[in-house]
Amino acid sequence: MEEIIPKKISLSGIQPTGIMTLGNYIGAVRNWVKFQDECDCLYMIANLHAITVKQNPAELRKHTLEAFALIIACGIDPQKSVAFIQSQVPEHSELSWVLNCYAQFGEMSRMTQFKDKSRKHADNINVGLFTYPILMASDILLYKSDIVPVGVDQKQHVEIARDIANRFNGIYGDVFTLPEPYIPKDGAKIMSLVDPTKKMSKSDENPNGFIAILEDRDSIIRKIKRSVTDSEAIVAYRENKDGINNLMTIYSVVTGKSYADIEKEFDGKGYGEFKSAVGETVADYLEPVKERFNQLMCDKAYLESLCSQGAEKASRIARKTLSKVYRKVGLA
């Protein structure tokens, strides 16, 4: 009899910021879709994480549902995977408190993202911002995640989850699975269109720096045509060509062409022609996502039923882990 090898478990999450950028899609969500056939996947709208920054309650509710609709529109299949909203699964908060008691102040204070966000939000350096990595560890460890697809900037959070899990396991035995970060080799980091030395971000003060997934076609093409390049006018991927390298990365991911193929395709052609091709191709690439998103948002009852079903599935899995943790520490 052929041995059945269990699939690895993968957890991913995205915050309901109101805007998902092309960088989010290429660096994260696109890979989530691929993972569905390779792993047992869970996909989460991380709205608990979102409140480390001050939120308008009505907007947060709206953005949370929109983010859920958007990951479904991007290709997450609720029949293949578990898709849910974080706050609808209380086990995340419950395990987070336990893990707070097994994380060290020193290791939290060294987290790069805490330092960065403290500078950006100097008027609201709250404790939630400080313990954010512990909640993320709870997200990961609840589901016995083997791999966590993340951007380069989130790798440290997976490492601290491993450290906390190792510490807990060292005291109580084999309770948590040690997760591994998964960082895609290509397209892991899409850069700003106006400053290609910085990551594409929806919080960019210049809206020309990012492309939103739901942006209209003309705006997408216009932004890419205005993107920063260089004076060399040669489409080639190499050092000191950050703008062109970024556009080539985007074009490569969207078309499946290698850098060598792209260089050959635009040999002897100027940046204007290259930018036009990138803009048109990206707009075409995003059109089916926008259509599906609009369909889902027009049927709120169906969308909310998907949220409820996903939360129930996630809670059943999470409760098993939490119950074991409670028994180990003497809370049950």
Q: Which residue has the higher pLDDT, 233 or 305?
A: 305
- pLDDT at position 34 is 82
Cα separation, 155 vs 163, whole angstroms: 13
Among 9-23, 118-132, 221-235, whose mean pLDDT is lowest?
A: 118-132
Say whether pLDDT at 25 is over 50.
yes
Q: Which CATH number fits domain 8-188+300-329: 3.30.1330.10, 3.40.50.300, 3.40.50.620, 3.40.640.10?
A: 3.40.50.620
Residue 199 annotated in active site: yes
Domains of the chain, by residue range, sit at 8-188+300-329, 207-294
Identify the bridge partners of residue 182 per DSSP, sorted by sequence position: 149
Helices (H), the chain: 22-24, 30-35, 47-50, 57-73, 91-100, 105-109, 112-120, 127-142, 155-172, 217-225, 242-255, 259-265, 271-297, 300-329
Domain 207-294: what homologous superfamily?
A: Tyrosyl-Transfer RNA Synthetase (1.10.240.10)
- pLDDT at position 5 is 64
Which residue among 199, 223, 241, 275 is the active-site one?
A: 199
Which residue among 155, 189, 202, 290 is the active-site one?
A: 202
Which residue in the block uniquely carries the two structure tokens 């048109």?
A: 280
Cα separation, 179 vs 321, whole angstroms: 15
pLDDT (tens digit per residue) in 155-209? 888 999 999 999 999 999 999 999 999 876 655 679 999 999 999 988 888 999 9
Mean pLDDT, residues 317-327 taken together: 98
Residues 6+ apart with CB under 8 A from 149: 10, 12, 28, 31, 32, 35, 182, 183, 184
Cα separation, 105 vs 303, whole angstroms: 40
- Tell me what the pLDDT averaged over the chain comes to: 92
- pLDDT at position 184 is 66
Burial pattern 234-257, b for ≥16 Cβ within 10 A else e, equals bbebeeebbbbbbbbbbbbbbbee
Q: At 218, list the tokens.
A: 């003309």
pLDDT (tens digit per residue) in 203-255? 888 999 999 999 999 999 999 999 999 999 899 999 999 999 999 999 999 99
Q: At 121, list the tokens.
A: 């939000």
Q: Give the residue among 278, 155, 297 at the shortest CA–CA distance from 224.
A: 278
Which residue among 117, 223, 241, 275 is the active-site one?
A: 117
Say whether pLDDT at 1 is over 70.
no
Query: How many other CB atoms are found less than 10 A from the CB of residue 119?
Result: 9
Cα separation, 48 vs 87, whole angstroms: 6
Give the pTM. 0.89
Amino acid found at 155? K
Query: How many other CB atoms are found less than 10 A from the CB of residue 159?
Result: 14
Contact 244, 229 (CB under 8 A): yes
Residue 144 annotated in active site: no
